[in-house]
Chains A and B, each alone.
Chain A
Amino acid sequence: MIEVENLTKTYGEATAVDHISFAVNKGEILGFLGPNGAGKTTTMRILTGFMPATSGTARIVGFDVATDSMDVRRHIGYLPETPPVYPDMTIESYLDFVARIKNVPAANRAANVTDAMRKTNLEDRRTELIKRLSRGYKQRVGIAQALVHDPDVIILDEPTVGLDPKQIIEVRNLIKGLAGNHTIILSTHILPEVSMTCDRVVIINKGKIAAVDTPQNLTSQLKSGQKIRLEVQAPPDAVKGALAQVPGVSRVQVEQLPSSAHSIVTVETAQGADIRSDIAAKIIASGWPLYELRGVSLSLEDIFLELTTDDASHAQPSVN
Chain B
Amino acid sequence: MQSFYAVYRKEMGHYFVSPIAYIFIGLFLFLSAYFFNYFLSAMIQQASMMAMQGMRFGAPPEVDVPGQVMRAFFGLLSTLILFFTPILTMGVYAEERKRGTMELLMTSPVTETQIVLGKFLASLTLFAVMLLPTASYLIFMCLRSDPMPPWRMLLAGYAGVLLLGGSLLALGTFISSLTENQLIAAVLTFAAFLFVWVLDLGSNASGSVGAVVQYLSVIRHYDDFTRGIIDTSALIYYFSFIALFIFLTVRSIDSMRWRRA
A and B interact: yes
B-binding residues in A (CB < 8 A): 11, 45, 48-52, 70, 73-74, 76, 78, 80-89, 93, 97-98, 100-103, 145
Interface centre among B3, B7, B103, B107, by most chain A C-beta atoms within 10 angstroms, is B107
Say yes or no: A100 contacts B101, CB within 8 Å. Answer: no
Say yes or no: B101 contacts A97, CB within 8 Å. Answer: no
Contact residue among A11, A83, A87, A102 (Cβ-Cβ distance under 8 Å from B109) = A102
* Interface residues of A, dominant DSSP: loop
A81 CA to B258 CA, complexed, in Å: 19
Say yes or no: B106 contacts A100, CB within 8 Å. Answer: no
Give, as a whole number of angstroms, the nearest-CB distance from A158 to chain B.
13
A70 CA to B107 CA, complexed, in Å: 9
Q: B104 in the interface, Cβ–Cβ < 8 Å?
A: yes
Say yes or no: B104 contacts A145, CB within 8 Å. Answer: yes
Whether A103 contacts B2 in the complex (CB less than 8 A), given A73-B109, A84-B103, comes out as yes
Say yes or no: A80 contacts B109, CB within 8 Å. Answer: no
Give, as a whole number of angstroms, the nearest-CB distance from B111 to chain A.
8
Q: Which residues of B contact A51 (CB under 8 A)?
A: 257-258
A45 CA to B106 CA, complexed, in Å: 10
A76 CA to B108 CA, complexed, in Å: 9
Find residues 69-123 in chain B having any chain A CB closer than 8 Å to their own CB: 99-101, 103-111
Segment with Cβ contacts to A, from B9-17, B37-45, B159-167, B193-201: B9-17
Say yes or no: B99 contacts A86, CB within 8 Å. Answer: yes
Say yes or no: A100 contacts B2, CB within 8 Å. Answer: yes
Say yes or no: A84 contacts B99, CB within 8 Å. Answer: yes
Say yes or no: B13 contacts A93, CB within 8 Å. Answer: yes
Interface centre among A50, A76, A98, by most chain B C-beta atoms within 10 angstroms, is A50
Q: Which residues of A contact B107 (CB under 8 A)?
A: 48-50, 73, 76, 78
Say yes or no: B14 contacts A73, CB within 8 Å. Answer: no
Q: Which residues of A contact B5 (CB under 8 A)?
A: 100
Say yes or no: B100 contacts A80, CB within 8 Å. Answer: yes
Contact residue among B14, B101, B104, B109 (Cβ-Cβ distance under 8 Å from A103) = B109
Q: Which residues of A contact B3 (CB under 8 A)?
A: 100-101, 103
| CB nearest neighbor in A for B114 | A101
Q: Which residues of B contact A103 (CB under 8 A)?
A: 2-3, 109
| CB nearest neighbor in B for A89 | B13
Interface centre among B2, B103, B106, by most chain A C-beta atoms within 10 angstroms, is B103
A97 CA to B257 CA, complexed, in Å: 23
Number of A-B contacts (CB under 8 A): 72
Q: B18 in the interface, Cβ–Cβ < 8 Å?
A: yes
Contact residue among B14, B105, B258 (Cβ-Cβ distance under 8 Å from A101) = B105
Interface size class of B (residues with CB under 8 A): 20 to 34
6 residue pairs A–B, Cβ–Cβ below 8 Å: A50-B106, A50-B257, A82-B99, A101-B7, A102-B108, A103-B109
Say yes or no: B104 contacts A70, CB within 8 Å. Answer: no
| CB nearest neighbor in B for A106 | B2
Q: B6 in the interface, Cβ–Cβ < 8 Å?
A: yes
Say yes or no: A73 contacts B108, CB within 8 Å. Answer: yes
A81 CA to B3 CA, complexed, in Å: 24
Q: B56 in the interface, Cβ–Cβ < 8 Å?
A: no
Q: B144 in the interface, Cβ–Cβ < 8 Å?
A: no
A84 CA to B103 CA, complexed, in Å: 7
Say yes or no: A74 contacts B109, CB within 8 Å. Answer: yes
Contact residue among A82, A87, A101 (Cβ-Cβ distance under 8 Å from B108) = A101
Give, as a whole number of angstroms, the nearest-CB distance from B192 to chain A.
27
Say yes or no: B258 contacts A80, CB within 8 Å. Answer: no
Say yes or no: A52 contacts B104, CB within 8 Å. Answer: no
Give, as a whole number of angstroms, the nearest-CB distance from B10 to chain A.
5
Say yes or no: B257 contacts A98, CB within 8 Å. Answer: no
A74 CA to B2 CA, complexed, in Å: 14
A52 CA to B105 CA, complexed, in Å: 16
Contact residue among B6, B101, B258, B260 (Cβ-Cβ distance under 8 Å from A85) = B101
Say yes or no: B260 contacts A11, CB within 8 Å. Answer: yes
Whether A86 contacts B14 in the complex (CB less than 8 A), given A51-B258, A101-B3, A103-B109, comes out as yes
Q: Which residues of B contact A97 (CB under 8 A)?
A: 6, 9-10
Q: Which residues of B contact A89 (CB under 8 A)?
A: 13, 17
Q: Which residues of B contact A48 (CB under 8 A)?
A: 107
16 more CB-based (< 8 A) A-B contacts, given A85-B99, A93-B13: A49-B107, A50-B257, A51-B258, A52-B257, A73-B107, A80-B100, A82-B99, A83-B100, A84-B104, A86-B10, A98-B104, A100-B2, A101-B6, A101-B110, A103-B2, A103-B109
| CB nearest neighbor in A for B4 | A101
Q: Which residues of B contact A49 (CB under 8 A)?
A: 106-107
A103 CA to B257 CA, complexed, in Å: 22
